[in-house]
Amino acid sequence: MGKRYKPTWESLREHTTPQWFREAKFGIYTHWGIYAVPAKGPNATWYPYNMYREGTAQHQYHTETYGPPSEFGYKDFIPQFTAERFDPVEWADLFRRSGAKFAGPVAEHHDGFCMWDTQYSKWNAVNMGPKRDVVGELETAIRRQGLKYMVALHHAENWWFFPHWRKEFDTSDPAYQGLYGELHNQEWAEKMPEFEGREDEWRLQDRPSQAFLEQWLGKTKEVMDKYRPDLVWFDFGLRFVQEHYKREMLAHYYNRGLDWGKEVLITYKWHDLVPGAGLVDLELGRYDKLTHHEWVTDTTVDNGSGWGYLKETEYKTVKTLVHYLIDNVSKNGYLLLNVGPKPNGEIPEQAQDLLIGMGEWLDVNGEAIFGTTPWMINGEGPTEMKKAGYFMEDEEVDYTAQDIRFTAKDDALYAVCLGWPEGKVEIESARGLYEREIASVTMLGYDQPLDWTMTEGRLVVTPPAEKPCDHAFAFKIQRKHPYIRES
């Protein structure tokens, strides 16, 4: 069974990134809930927050479309969250075709609506709306496709998500606190204007109660124990959870992994956990260079950070997503990609096309991604990122054929051009290789060996006449094995 974990940071930091995750590189999750009904941006999942707040685009839309929130509250969308076209088998098949190696749903977002059969709240997808155990059905379907299963949990944010101090709204009615959260700070009506634009300061003063935290822990353990996820992803509300609850949760999950005989993983944002106790996640961002620690990006298929389904949105391109994945992997990172299904359970056609496009590229080039490690340098080329870290996609750059990213596996080095090269390719970073150790140079998707030379320390390769795929092109530099030293 192995050594048990204790709820101490010293013990929890002994946990390591699972080997399956290191090999998987790419996963998909779904933001699907009541918020898919209004489907109005800029961020679909924050519609329930903004619909109650004057001056926001979503409040204006809500008032014009459904009436004022004092008459039509968030709970009133539930009957329209029908999921009549929800087919977990179709979803799982699409995820497999995309090339993803792990997938799963958001089990509960900030809005307090649970997508599983929970003992902690009647406000769940089994009792209302879809009247189905979405988390459970997806677990079965995704595992049958041979993928690892994940869940995402955002429910720590429910504490401050709805305005309990606004007496005219249903958010202040005790009958609905199972959805909107435990009633608190109902006397804050006069105080809230002080925190305009300073939400983090408000949240630091508005700490969750012990009862709320006990329920947070209970729900988390329930999902873990009931569905045995391989990965649990946490949003930023984790920072407001009292430390000993976080340590208890981590020890419980890591020990359950030992009981189940499998490797498990938790991700978190910013510094919400002690470094090494889980894997750090960069929302809508990535690093600009090779890092010593592993990390993962969570981003979404749309261009507007919509997260959930939006009736009107622009989508990223397959090229952008493929480059995102390659760049992350070359820098010791991973990619988690979101899609937002419609309230009837259909995944939008544009999102499906993007996932299928990624799968087509990975069918040809997956060897340069799956099961690889970073190399000693992540890449070369003229294009530099304008911004790194969290929330950098607003300054995303377009890469060229001169921009190359490296990965490695066994005795192979992969040099991936982020565009189709016109003429010979000069790989400057190959200066670390000796001509005598190179056995061959090929391009994935092209069966014949390529002509190459070492010129002034640079590896110069003649690419094939025709493209074997689109978006990015992987040279495989096979080194001789075993390496024979000269006497």
Across 84-158, where does the E strand assignment appear? 102-108, 148-153
Q: Are 126 and 133 in contact (CB under 8 A)?
A: yes
Q: Where are the domains of the chain?
A: 9-283, 374-479
Q: State how far the Cα of 142 lies from the Cα of 485, in Å rounded to an integer.
A: 48
Region 318-343: mean pLDDT is 98
> Two tokens at 399?
């890469």
pLDDT digits (tens, 9 = 90+) for 188-231: 767 777 777 787 777 777 889 999 999 999 999 999 999 999 99
Q: State how far the Cα of 248 lies from the Cα of 264, in Å rounded to an integer.
A: 16
Classify burial at 174, counting beta carbons within 10 Å of its beta carbon; exposed 0-12, middle 13-18, buried 19 or more: exposed
User: Rounded to whole angstroms, what are the CA distances from 103 to 53, 138, 148, 270?
Assistant: 34, 9, 7, 23
Q: State how far the Cα of 128 lies from the Cα of 176, in Å rounded to an integer.
A: 14
Q: Are 77 and 172 in contact (CB under 8 A)?
A: no
Give which of 351, 336, 358, 361 is closest to 303, Cα–Cα: 351
Q: State how far the Cα of 298 lies from the Cα of 29, in Å rounded to an integer.
A: 9
> Two tokens at 241?
């959870």
Q: What is the predicted pLDDT for the residue at 447?
A: 87
pLDDT digits (tens, 9 = 90+) for 412-440: 999 999 999 999 999 999 888 888 999 99
- What residues contact residue 443 under an 8 Å CB cut-off, 6+ apart? 450, 463, 464, 468, 473, 474, 475, 476
Strands 473-479, 412-417: pairing is antiparallel
User: Rounded to whole angstroms, what are the CA distances from 35 to 43, 153, 295, 307?
Assistant: 10, 16, 29, 10
pLDDT digits (tens, 9 = 90+) for 218-267: 999 999 999 999 999 999 999 999 999 999 999 999 999 999 999 999 99
Q: State how far the Cα of 62 lies from the Cα of 72, in Å rounded to an integer.
A: 9
Contacts 24+ apart (CB under 8 A), 386-389: 388/285, 388/286, 388/287, 388/288, 388/289, 389/282, 389/285, 389/287
Q: State how far the Cα of 143 lies from the Cα of 95, in Å rounded to an integer.
A: 11
Q: What is the predicted pLDDT for the residue at 483?
A: 52
Give which of 265, 214, 280 is closest to 241, Cα–Cα: 214
9-283: CATH architecture? Alpha-Beta Barrel (3.20)
When mean pLDDT is compared across 195-204, 430-439, 462-471, 475-484, the lowest value belongs to 195-204
pLDDT range class, residue 122, cuts 50, 70, 90: very high
Q: Are 269 and 235 in contact (CB under 8 A)?
A: yes
374-479: CATH architecture? Sandwich (2.60)
* Percent share of the chain, pLDDT over 90: 89
Q: What is the DSSP string of 299-350?
A: EESBSS---S--SS--B--HHHHHHHHHHHHHTTEEEEEEE---TTSPPPHH
pTM of the model: 0.96
Q: State how far the Cα of 73 lies from the Cα of 369, in Å rounded to an integer.
A: 46
One-letter identity of residue 393: E
pLDDT digits (tens, 9 = 90+) for 133-163: 999 999 999 999 999 999 999 999 999 999 9
Residue 144: phi, psi to the nearest 5? -65, -20
- What residues contact residue 21 under an 8 Å CB cut-off, 6+ apart? 102, 148, 231, 263, 265, 279, 334
Q: State how far the Cα of 284 lies from the Cα of 306, in Å rounded to an integer.
A: 11
pLDDT range class, residue 398, cuts 50, 70, 90: very high
Rg (CA), the chain: 24
Mean pLDDT of the chain: 95
Whether the pLDDT of residue 472 is over 90: the answer is yes
Q: How many residues does the chain have?
A: 487
